[in-house]
Amino acid sequence: MLELNVCIGTSCHIKGAYNVIQTFQQMIEEKKLHDKINFKSSFCMKECAKPGVSVSVGGEKRRVPAEEAREFFNTVVIGKI
């Protein structure tokens, strides 16, 4: 099962973490991936100075601009399943 985490710390919250979360939840629903993805939120991932929202996919930290969350999910997350 793929571990997918989105940071909800202050910096990421300001940068659109909840939009990323909503997009990822919608994509998981649409693609019926509940049994393949363990989706969680987490507090600070210590990447605050970088642009975008911190996301961990299978333990690999990445940065995702909120407006690119759908594309990120379709390319990176789906690619790791």
Class in CATH terms, 2-80: alpha beta
* Distance, CA of 1 to CA of 27 (rounded, Å): 16
One pLDDT digit (tens) per residue for the chain, 81 residues: 999 999 999 999 999 999 999 999 999 999 999 999 999 999 999 999 999 999 999 999 999 999 999 999 999 999 999
Sign of CA pseudo-dihedral 15, 20, 22, 23: positive
End-to-end CA distance of the chain: 8
Domain extents in the chain? 2-80
